[in-house]
Amino acid sequence: MDWLGGFPQILAATGAKHGLDRFRHDLANDMRRKGLGKMVNLGNDAPPAYNFDGAHHMALEEVITEQGLDAFTQEERHNFKCWPEFPPVLAMLRERYICALFTILSFRIIMDTTRRNGLSWDAVFSCAAIGKYKVLPEAYDTVAQFLQFEPS
């Protein structure tokens, strides 16, 4: 995901539609930091009570409340884009390598983002399916086993 460029642009464009013009990179960074903070080591002590969608939603709602952005619709709150140069590079890499996505994102976000950006993967692994999230070693070991690779 293009959190550093695309996400602030989406926030700015959406804000402009609603007459809100105070968008800087720090808003997107704050949301990302809050969302990732809710995901790190999720599943370590108990089965996860939520997935990335839940963490993203909680973080976004916190930022919206803190910044007074209640005018954003639900649809406008979930619009992910990848770096524009990534789709052609992924296609070239797939000619020579297995290109598997291993992510904290939910399958729904993966499917929506893959379609929206014209991406194609050899395999997709979501921490949501494993029940252990990055940075827990079990998450990485499980994906390596699925791919029949040594975890090292």
Structure tokens at 65: 């409340």
State the average pLDDT for the chain: 82
Structure tokens at 51: 């997935």
Work out the pLDDT band at 148, boundaries 50, 70, 90.
very high
3-class secondary structure, 103: strand
Closest CA to 3 of 26, 20, 21, 22: 26
CATH 3.40.50.1000 fits 86-146, yes or no: yes
The arithmetic mean of pLDDT across residues 137-146, rounded, is 94
pLDDT at 28 over 80: no
C-beta of residue 28 within 8 angstroms of C-beta of residue 2 = no
pLDDT the model gives residue 93 = 96
pLDDT the model gives residue 76 = 62
pLDDT at 34 over 80: yes
C-beta of residue 82 within 8 angstroms of C-beta of residue 2 = yes
